[in-house]
Amino acid sequence: MIRSDHALHLITDERLLPRTIFIRRIKEAVAAGARVVQLREKTTRPRDRLELAEELAVLLHRRQARLIINDDPLLAKLSGADGVHLGREDAPVEVARALLGPSAAIGVSCYGDVRRALEMEKRGASYVSFGACFPSPTKPEEPVVPLSLFEEAKRRLCIPIVAIGGIRPDNAGDVIAAGADGVAVVSAVLGAKKIARAVQDFQHAVGGKTP
């Protein structure tokens, strides 16, 4: 389970993290306090993706951090990850839960749709995400959702809510204040010159929560 006090979800991006520096940069983020890392690798060969996921799982578990695999429940199972994050075109929550077991963290992207989030909660999702909250350099085509959506979602959902899309330390606090339990970031941390400082800035921005 991803607890609601895990305020920072760090999502990897192969454009920002070439393989030669991948592990070193993730180590920096975890040492600074990041406790949830989502591995999102779209173009890496399956064998290489499994090797990277296994190495990352070992690294994170040694530091009491958690690994979430993007899109691929089987890779999560094979690599020893803590869970999976599912999009609209991915496996159903029930299939992922049957494969990964009752303690796995299963997140679901709900874009700007609270009704989808309510349905995913009924199906057994551990947490849901909404976004983009702001224009995103990672997915510039993603529609922006109003922050009022988080207020509604907080009233109606019992599971943690994660915000994603264009979130930086200077606007993260607004998203948390609106009702999000955590923020998922890519370039605001991995594109920073000083990753540790970026992680610490996010921790401060979300009100002192330590992931």
For the chain, where are the E strands, in sequence order?
8-11, 36-39, 66-70, 83-86, 105-109, 127-131, 161-164, 182-185
Question: 7: exposed, middle or buried (C-beta count within 10 Å: 0-12, 13-18, 19+)?
Answer: buried
> Is 210 a domain residue?
no
In a domain, 121, yes or no: yes
The answer to whether residue 37 is domain-embedded is: yes
Q: How do the pLDDT tens digits run along the chain, 211 residues long?
A: 444 445 799 999 988 888 889 999 999 999 999 999 999 987 677 788 999 999 999 999 999 999 999 999 999 999 999 999 999 999 999 999 999 999 999 999 999 999 999 999 999 999 999 999 999 877 778 889 999 999 999 999 999 999 999 999 999 999 999 999 999 999 999 999 999 999 999 988 886 544 3
Q: Is residue 2 part of a domain?
A: no
Q: Is residue 1, in this structure, part of any structural domain at all?
A: no
CATH of the domain at 170: 3.20.20.70
With respect to residue 193, please indicate whether it lies within any of the assigned structural domains: yes
Alpha helix locations (H) across 32-185?
A: 46-62, 73-79, 93-100, 114-123, 148-156, 169-178
Residues annotated as catalytic are 40, 109, 139
Number of structural domains (the chain) is 1
Q: Does 3 reside within a domain?
A: no
> CA 196 to CA 50: how far, in whole Å?
26
Domain range for 158 = 8-205
* Two tokens, residue 98: 């049957």
CA distance 68 to 107: 9
User: 211 in a domain, yes or no?
Assistant: no
CA distance 144 to 41: 24
Q: What is the pTM of this model?
A: 0.92
